[in-house]
Amino acid sequence: MIPVFLELKGFNVLIFGFGNVGKRRFEKFLDSCAKITVYSKSIAKKDISKYENARFFECDVSNLSDEELYSIIKNHDIIITAIDEKNNKRIVSIAKSINKFINSSTFEKESNLIVPAYCSVDGVSFAVYTGGKSPIVAREIRKNVEEYLKNSEFEISFQNKLRDFLKNEIEDQNERKKVLENVFSDEKFKKELLELIEKHR
């Protein structure tokens, strides 16, 4: 597997289960502008009333045949299953047979899609995955990176403006890289240069 960031606007995401794991997956996909459909054995109206852009179906998947599951899965691009092991296995098998992206809470090794711990601060995104070895470590790494990004907002803004400026002034990418690396280690110069760039924009 390789890590990728996908633009999911217009994609159809199907989630089986709305317990703790299903809700966490659901909330991660909310900001993606994907079309989300949820099937769950029990859905409390108070839990879903605030979500206008998702469809919810109260349904016990155990009562659905493989053919019925297939007819639901085939119309979606990404499948997330976070229910009991037996039904997770059925869903993974069906989804993979028709080349869907599938993430399973109990059959991670059979999944071809991982939903990692991630954070996004001011347009900078970071994701970490431990291969299922330690979700707690992944969570703590994510927290540390998120804190670092929040404390580096000036640095991020500065690097962004400086890169734009250098692209117009220096053609050679290696030379631009050298300037950026030198500036990164000089706090006083960074502030003075940022003021200069702002002044002449």
pTM exceeding 0.85: no
Domain count, the chain: 3
Domain that holds residue 94: 12-115
Collapse the DSSP code of 86 into the 3-class scheme (helix H, G, I; strand E, B; otherwise coil) and give the result.
helix
Q: Are residues 32 and 45 in the same domain?
A: yes
- Residue 102 backbone phi and psi in degrees, to 5: -135, 135
One digit per residue, the tens of pLDDT, for the chain of length 201 reads 788 888 999 899 999 999 888 888 998 898 888 999 999 998 877 767 777 779 999 999 999 999 999 999 999 999 999 999 999 999 999 999 999 999 998 887 888 998 888 888 878 888 888 887 788 888 888 888 888 888 877 777 777 887 888 888 888 888 888 877 877 777 776 676 667 666 655
Q: Are residues 16 and 111 in the same domain?
A: yes
Interacting residues of 12 by C-beta distance below 8 A, sequence separation 6+: 34, 35, 37, 75, 76, 77, 78
Q: Are residues 136 and 173 in the same domain?
A: no
Q: Are residues 105 and 185 in the same domain?
A: no
Q: Are residues 111 and 139 in the same domain?
A: no
Q: Are residues 106 and 126 in the same domain?
A: no
Residue 3 lies in a domain: no
CA distances from 150 to 50, 125, 146, 158, 192 (A): 28, 12, 6, 14, 22
Q: Are residues 86 and 169 in the same domain?
A: no
Q: Are residues 30 and 87 in the same domain?
A: yes
Rounded distance between C-alpha atoms, residue 178 and residue 180, angstroms: 5
Q: Are residues 183 and 157 in the same domain?
A: yes
Q: Are residues 35 and 90 in the same domain?
A: yes
Residue 2 lies in a domain: no
Residue 4 lies in a domain: no
Burial class (CB in 10 A: 0-12, 13-18, 19+), 161: middle
Q: Are residues 144 and 168 in the same domain?
A: no
